[in-house]
Amino acid sequence: MSKIVEDRRGHGRIGGVEKVRSGKLPRPAGPYSHLAVAGGFVFTAGFGPQDPESGTVPDGIEAQTEAVIRNVERALAEVELDLSNVVKVTAHLADLADFAAYNAVYERTFPVPYPVRTTVGSQLNDILVEIDVVAALPD
């Protein structure tokens, strides 16, 4: 399935905002795009640990965090960016007691200097972690 760029009417751009959906990413759980590009930034939807092809979810906070970050990397690759372009991370953990294990994966995966980050406890449906990011487009 090829990349689909759409706005509410199925067009590519409206008001300088590009919205991106891709068959290379996990299927959205609702009516939203994977990415929006606007004002020099890329905003991602929240990604869970679902494998884009099989939909399977790994067990455990470490494996799920690795899978989520891979999905974020796939999303950024759709607009030719990577984790080094990320300026803001918002992470949702089903259980804040998992923070240390999640943080260990995050620390070894994101490049230094680390982006700013907010981590909150959230009610997640059958997953342990979800992450969305804001990335800066190169000048």
* pLDDT of 9: 37
Residue 47 has pLDDT above 60, yes or no: yes
What torsion do the CA atoms of 9, 13, 15, 17 make, to the nearest 10 degrees? 110
Say what percent of the chain tops pLDDT 70. Answer: 89
Compute the 3-state secondary structure of the chain and give helix, strand, coil in percent, each to the nearest 5. 25, 30, 45
* pLDDT of 15: 63
Among the ranges 2-6, 21-25, 68-72, which has the highest mean pLDDT value? Answer: 68-72
Query: 3-class SS at 104?
Result: helix
pLDDT in tens, 100-124: 999 999 999 999 999 999 999 999 9
